[in-house]
Chains A and B, each alone.
Chain A
């Protein structure tokens, strides 16, 4: 491996990793909060009490403390329910947007597949919900579908969420999942996949499960994995190498 500086280690295509967030210029990007998840569990008969929101807020405060960003982009799936807005979602989403307003000059909401009704929440705070957002060389979108206007890219970088990527580290019988960023290519574009900003699960293991996003269909040939855990960054290199190491590691 070529030696890299610390700077390189937390950069993907010029965007900087800050725990579960990505910093592009003066913008902070976060993705897949899924507020209101517990209430949807309750509706399924699983009486788990609410516990996520304070954790999300506390982590957000930590991240804000360490950055100077003035603007925030929520890259889709702010809330969880597809069809309606639950009581918990109203409360938590409004509270969260208020919280963001306190810390940022500008809030940009990107529409995710769970966000059919987010615009109603956004309206309350005079915000719009966008399909995509462009920023210099970066195109930010949720990633559940490929916008029709997207032609072959040159030197541009797409940032998506939706995938909730994590990788399972296995040693003997022990398995721990860790959230990660993915660095790859799509149709001439650079592609960054962000981890989810919620604490219900680590996400779906990219070594095991089939990708959800159309951007990752057909499994890109090269894909770098960068793990994040409580502000530490773990560049694992290319996914093929990890799989190869795992196959060796059978004793």
Chain B
């Protein structure tokens, strides 16, 4: 059962269970226990599973470790500390692992000093960076506290000798669990924990999480299931403790009227002003290119204030050395400002930050809180965050983020389930451990939260794939990774290289095809392959806040020289964060309220006062929002949760456009738009262009498209079937298929001692997909790629919810015709990204194109 731990223990009670030396150490360092420690320590001591949700700076780490250290100290004192691992700490980042190891150093040393004798409690970090030598040391003298990453832990489970050292693990701590649970790394870890439990027997699971909703789901994810019932877990929630000082700022008085240049200038003036009046500022942008551009512009516009030594960028495309330099400079207080995309969101130690600025909407309430929580690192100190908006849609979005953050409404977390590619890795790993009974393996897998509903069919399809049954019998020796004996219900590993293949190829983070950028022989960063392809000799671009000129590319290395002047290529492709569904619904509700105000003829004053109060924004912002809605109301009508507005207009060359004002976030719109486009394409037998954004989507075609009729054909029951067909020929599916094939070990990154280049894999991914489709519609990797596209990349579940609203009559469909796009449609039309739904047969398409070209030439 999952229960909330409301009980707050007295200091006295807690001291009673602590080892006297540890107690003494604690008393000499702290006055009292933090809230989370008061609620958690006794339960950990008694071996209860526990999920602790609290903001950074609230002593979370010590909450997790204190009672464990105490028990290890007692064991050491009695001379009973054995050469084995007692506690495993897992975090998503190597940097965080290293921080934790350092943070444990002091208490362990001091406790030893107090004890007056050698206790010999060992701790060690083990990641992909750990040298062969260190690893062999760990085997001889295993750390009592093992600090590691999800990937390394699953490799250790298959390490023949080290595996033995894990047989008595008593505690597992998962830090930053929220950042793992919503993606495949978390799915992977989830099953790893069950495999560990199978080896070590029950252990205490401790999860440390930032603010997420619902915590109960996160707890289920942490503890898993036993015999179909969720295991016991207590939840400690101390989120209300940290105070928020959060504001939305408009760089200009009226963001509706100002032109982009003006807004941009004002944005940098505002940034500069804020940075000047604080000690250290952390700026978050949503993309890596945005990060680059902010650093570049601050340096360019205020050369007297910002230079190489006091401003740095920090994002995942930069080299490890540059990122480490930024982190260290931050810790030393040497930087005035650091600009990051997502890489500084997690709890690595970055010293004292007194202001966090978010440039443009972070797209979800929880992300906003996570980012802003990076400031004011001590408990009881306010977290100070400012969100600067860049346009009117941004203003509205950020205002609702502010409202919901202040009122404590956080977006729901999404945890992927039944991922068959991750399952392939695990079954392979299990086979390497030992031969298995098929049923035993199936029940072990279903103990994991992410696989609790795994069907037997899917499980068997993965076994069949791993056994190479998709190839001819005579070729199977090349492809089969395991043997399966169906009559005897057993499976096991095949091939001498199995363990090596497994340990060098597992993991869930796809290899991005990134090219190294070299300047004067030194690697200065990485750029994505798509971007590299766009570069032509002489182009200049920004990387790490500096400008470089592109000279030439050789393989996956790009040669550049430092340059100056404005970059010729403004940015590189970077995945924009999608707007969270829950936040989208909040915005829609606000639109409904505003619609009502205008309909009932409320005065300008009444409405702006309402906005000011309801959204906690200043008068300027309230005026801008008022104007934006008024324009839309007068020109067309205000769409919302009760009214789905569908707008028709004719563009260039008589091209027909139909805009759906479905503000449900890009993931939902992606699903809806492709399904509608598919219906249209089939009906009118022609290709349909799709453009998707957070605020809606539009379709366009060379002739009539009947968008409304097509949308009406879409039902919550038929959406999934239509979508499967609609994504069939897309680049998205091909790309995801390659990733899934990589995770399923159909494409091996490292094979026969060589690392394979990603660009080679990329081309081959397409070939693979082409082949696999002919092979079997239900091939497990193909099925997973489809699931990933529909459920993780898109949001099928909530798209169905939207269709349900229409079916139940809660949302009306309203059609209007406009000459030019309405104000709300404006950004949507300008910012969406394009794709095409191919309907025409390849041969029809070729014939048509041939005719068109011949007509042009022949005249």
Contacts and interface: CB of A to CB of B under 8 A. Distances in A.
Q: Do A and B bind each other?
A: yes
28 contacts: A44-B764, A47-B745, A47-B747, A48-B767, A49-B471, A49-B475, A49-B771, A49-B775, A50-B475, A169-B850, A171-B687, A171-B849, A172-B689, A172-B834, A173-B835, A176-B845, A178-B846, A227-B846, A227-B850, A229-B846, A234-B846, A235-B854, A236-B850, A236-B854, A237-B854, A241-B856, A242-B857, A251-B653
A91 to B, nearest CB: 10
Nearest to A229: B846
Contact of A173 (B763, B764, B768, B836): B836
A171 B848 CA distance: 10
A234 B853 CA distance: 11
B761 interface: yes
Contacts of A46: 746-748, 756, 760-761, 764, 768
Contact of B853 (A200, A232, A242): A242
A238 B852 CA distance: 14
Contacts of B858: 1
A81 to B, nearest CB: 15
Contact of A49 (B479, B754, B845): B479
Contacts of B752: 43, 45
A133 interface: no
A41 B856 contact: no
B747 A174 contact: no
Contacts of B470: 49
Interface of A: 1, 41-51, 169, 171-174, 176, 178, 200-201, 227, 229-230, 232, 234-238, 241-242, 244-245, 248, 251
Given A45-B756, A50-B471, A169-B849, 14 more contacts: A1-B854, A41-B767, A43-B752, A45-B747, A45-B754, A47-B748, A49-B475, A169-B846, A171-B845, A171-B849, A173-B835, A176-B849, A232-B843, A232-B846
B265 to A, nearest CB: 32
A223 to B, nearest CB: 14
Is chain A's interface secondary structure helix, strand, loop, or mixed overall?
mixed
B583 to A, nearest CB: 29
A173 B843 CA distance: 17
Contacts of A172: 687, 689, 834, 836
Nearest to B775: A49
B843 A230 contact: yes
Nearest to B849: A169
B751 interface: yes
B243 to A, nearest CB: 49
A158 to B, nearest CB: 26
B703 to A, nearest CB: 14
| Chain B binding surface SS class | helix
Nearest to B478: A42
Given A171-B845, A237-B857, A45 B771 contact: no
B271 to A, nearest CB: 36
A164 to B, nearest CB: 13
B761 A241 contact: no
A230 to B, nearest CB: 7
Contacts of B838: 174
Contact of B764 (A41, A178, A242, A245): A41
B750 interface: yes
A236 B775 CA distance: 34
Nearest to A234: B850
B652 interface: yes
Contacts of A171: 687, 845, 848-849
Contacts of B751: 43-45
Nearest to B855: A245
Interface in B739-773: 745-752, 754, 756, 760-761, 763-764, 767-768, 771
Contacts of A242: 853, 857
B774 interface: yes
B842 interface: yes
A206 B619 CA distance: 59
Given A171-B845, A174-B838, A178-B846, A47 B478 contact: yes
Nearest to B761: A46
Contacts of B846: 169, 176, 178, 227, 229, 232, 234
B842 A1 contact: no
Nearest to A39: B478
Contact of A47 (B653, B746, B836): B746
A205 to B, nearest CB: 13
A173 B845 CA distance: 13
Given A49-B479, A248-B856, A176 B764 contact: no
Contacts of A251: 652-653, 655
Contact of B845 (A42, A45, A174): A174
A235 B851 CA distance: 10
Contacts of A176: 842, 845-846, 849
A200 B767 contact: yes
Interface string B827-851: 0000000111010001101111110
Contacts of A245: 852-853, 856-857
B520 to A, nearest CB: 27
A20 to B, nearest CB: 15
A229 B841 CA distance: 13
A236 B760 contact: no
Residue picked from B471, B750, B767, most chain A C-beta under 10 Å: B767
Interface string B617-646: 000000000000000000000000000000
A11 B858 CA distance: 19
Most chain B CB within a 10 A radius of its CB, from A41, A46, A176, A245: A46
Contact of B756 (A44, A232, A234, A235): A44
A246 to B, nearest CB: 9
A241 B850 contact: no
A1 B857 CA distance: 8
A172 B856 CA distance: 17
A140 B250 CA distance: 71
Interface string B674-693: 00000000000001010000
B836 A169 contact: no
Looking at A51, A235, A238, A248, which has the most chain B CB atoms within 10 Å of its CB? A51
